[in-house]
């Protein structure tokens, strides 16, 4: 495991001291965490019907309004894949962190429920959730069936359900390209960043805004920031480290260190 830290310091010793002293921890997770459970990212090659479409072009209001059956079918296929997946060691380690006696806030850019299924509670979803669709017309929430969708491997068009409130088309409960992030979730993330003394940025490139502001806010507020990614990048802050490795490899050992104090 390669550690990169502030220049001129013994990074491993300083990092260990910082970890032990932390009391308010903010964890920010990205697609890299879910990818280790087999969840496809937008960069992965697709098969079947979906091989003919750019996923980014399906994740827009315009796409849904033009062809709601195509977009709903794509997201139900994605939801089936998510429900068939299982939380990995990184998800479990983050859930275990709450048992360390520290105040832990978990903010994720992922739209799956793997954090919740691993045992984390109060997860802040910056980009919405596949499990919380809503009406495209009136915004009312829609209850999905308890059983997982059974979509063919190749995918299919699937007419979205109708809203029980107004009869409008139900849309996936995720944030699409061109849409604003939910204000309450973003405000919670920013407030936690300004108040934490340690931020763990896990499985995220840190280049997509406004989520990329979260570690920037933490650094400006004087918190230590630790990036965990196969190819982590530093932002240039004074109390900032990078651990090169996958989340499932790095987090269990890191959380064990955090819990050792208690």
**Residue-level pLDDT at 44:** 62
Q: Is position 115 annotated as part of the catalytic site?
A: no
Q: What pLDDT, in 10s, does the model give residues 36-46?
A: 999 877 666 56
Residue 30 has what pLDDT? 94
Check the annotation: does 105 bind a ligand.
no
Domain 1-39+86-131+181-262 sits in which CATH superfamily?
TPP-binding domain (3.40.50.1220)
Please state, in angstroms and rounded to a whole number, the distance separating the CA atoms of residues 84 and 50: 19
As annotated, the residues of the chain forming the CATH 3.30.1600.10 domain(s) are 40-84+134-171
Which of 42, 107, 113 is closest to 83 using CA atoms?
113
- pLDDT below 50 — which residues of the chain? 8-10
Q: Is domain 40-84+134-171 in CATH 3.30.1600.10, yes or no?
A: yes
The verdict on pTM exceeding 0.85 is yes
Tokens in use for 211? 């989520």
Domain with CATH 3.40.50.1220 in the chain: 1-39+86-131+181-262
Q: What is the pLDDT of residue 9?
A: 45
**pLDDT score, position 56:** 80
- Distance separating the N- and C-terminal Cα atoms of the chain: 25
Q: Is 44 annotated as a binding residue?
A: no
What pLDDT, on the 0 to 100 scale, is given for residue 113?
A: 96
Phi-psi region of 77 (alpha: psi -120 to 50; beta: other; left: phi over 0): alpha
- Residue-wise pLDDT tens digits, 3-47: 565 554 445 567 778 888 899 999 999 999 999 999 877 666 566
pLDDT of residue 251: 93
Catalytic residue among 115, 125, 127, 136: 127
104 assigned ligand-binding residue:
no
In Å, what is the CA distance from 243 to each residue of 90, 205, 227? 14, 13, 6
Annotated binding-site residue? 166: yes
């Amino acid at each position: 495991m390669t550690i990169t830290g502030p220049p001129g310091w013994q990074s491993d010793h300083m990092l260990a001291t910082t970890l032990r002293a932390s009391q308010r921890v903010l964890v920010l997770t990205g697609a890299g965490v879910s990818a280790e459970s087999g969840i496809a990212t937008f960069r992965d090659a697709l098969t079947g019907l979906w091989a003919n479409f750019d996923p980014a072009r399906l994740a827009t209001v315009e796409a849904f309004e033009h062809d709601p059956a195509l977009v709903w079918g794509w997201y139900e296929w994605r939801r089936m894949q998510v429900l068939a997946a299982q939380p990995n060691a990184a998800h479990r380690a983050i859930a275990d962190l709450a048992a360390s006696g520290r105040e832990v806030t978990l903010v994720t850019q992922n739209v799956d429920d793997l954090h919740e299924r691993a045992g984390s509670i109060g997860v802040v979803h910056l980009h919405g959730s596949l499990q919380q669709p809503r009406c495209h017309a009136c915004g009312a929430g829609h209850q999905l069936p308890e059983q997982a969708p059974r979509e063919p491997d190749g995918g299919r068009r699937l007419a979205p359900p109708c809203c029980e409130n107004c009869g409008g088309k139900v849309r996936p409960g995720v944030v699409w390209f061109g849409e604003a992030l939910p204000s309450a979730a973003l405000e919670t993330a920013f407030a936690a960043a300004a108040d934490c003394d340690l931020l763990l940025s896990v499985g995220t490139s840190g280049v997509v805004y406004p989520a990329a502001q979260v570690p920037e806010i933490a650094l400006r507020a004087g918190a230590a920031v630790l990036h965990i990614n196969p190819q982590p990048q530093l932002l240039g802050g004074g109390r900032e480290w990078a651990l090169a490795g996958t989340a499932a490899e790095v987090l269990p050992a890191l959380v064990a260190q955090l819990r050792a104090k208690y």
